[in-house]
Chain A
């Protein structure tokens, strides 16, 4: 069966520090991968998605970047965190590229607090 792992579960970082959040998927190959941010009381906002190794599309301009060094690994990074980067970050995958009727499967998220 397929599983998705995100870590860390919680993270407290000072303003201006770097960031690296990792997400890995097991039990499937060539998944679509997604990074979302969820602000309190608001809907999920898509940050990045990837259809393959090294292929990253950004949905919103921001202080963050994403990379996909391996087929089932998706990394969210920042060189210098801002207070506004605080939030709940979710990684997700979908099983077949372009199959919109497939559900996206989410990880358990990372709660990021910037001090």
Chain B
């Protein structure tokens, strides 16, 4: 069964600190992995997409890594800001099927002043 597990479920950090969110998946055959940011009451917004051959991808203060051998990904947030408070969702795509996206349940990040 294709699954995406994210940890921690929730996280509280102080403004300016760094943090790392984890994503483990059992999806096969793997096509790509995406990280989305979802503000409360809004739709998810894409941060990064990584294919099998990509180990790291950055988007501003967000850096995603992918280890396709261990089926793990992480999202590192540098110098956190209050606006980073949101849920971060890991999504894995199976092969090239347009239906075949498996969503994690997200990590709820709260950045405090």
A contact set with B: CB distance below 8 Å: 6, 32, 41-46, 49, 51, 57, 59, 90, 92, 94, 97-98, 100-101, 103-109, 111
The reply on B63 being an interface residue by CB < 8 A is no
A-B contact pairs, 10 of them (CB 8 A): A6-B43, A32-B98, A90-B43, A92-B43, A98-B96, A100-B96, A101-B32, A101-B49, A106-B45, A107-B43
Contact between A109 and B42, CB atoms less than 8 A apart: yes
Known contacts: A90-B43, A103-B49, A106-B43. The answer to whether A59 contacts B105 by CB under 8 A is no
Closest to B3 in A: A43
Contact between B99 and A57, CB atoms less than 8 A apart: yes
Closest to A45 in B: B103
Contact between A101 and B41, CB atoms less than 8 A apart: no
Please name 16 further chain A to chain B contacts, defined as beta carbons within 8 Å, in addition to the given A43-B4, A46-B101, A108-B43, sorted by A numbering.
A44-B44, A45-B103, A57-B99, A94-B98, A98-B98, A100-B95, A100-B96, A101-B31, A103-B46, A104-B46, A105-B46, A106-B43, A106-B44, A106-B45, A108-B42, A109-B41
Closest to A46 in B: B99
Interface size class of B (residues with CB under 8 A): 20 to 34
A46, B95: Cα distance in complex, Å:
17
B contact set with A: CB distance below 8 Å: 4, 9, 31-32, 34, 41-46, 49, 51, 89, 93, 95-106
CB neighbours of B32 from chain A (8 A): 100-101
CB neighbours of A44 from chain B (8 A): 44, 89, 103
Closest to A43 in B: B103
A94, B46: Cα distance in complex, Å:
12
A59, B100: Cα distance in complex, Å:
10
Contact between A43 and B106, CB atoms less than 8 A apart: yes
A28, B21: Cα distance in complex, Å:
34
CB neighbours of A45 from chain B (8 A): 103
Closest to A105 in B: B46
CB neighbours of A57 from chain B (8 A): 99
Contact between A104 and B101, CB atoms less than 8 A apart: yes
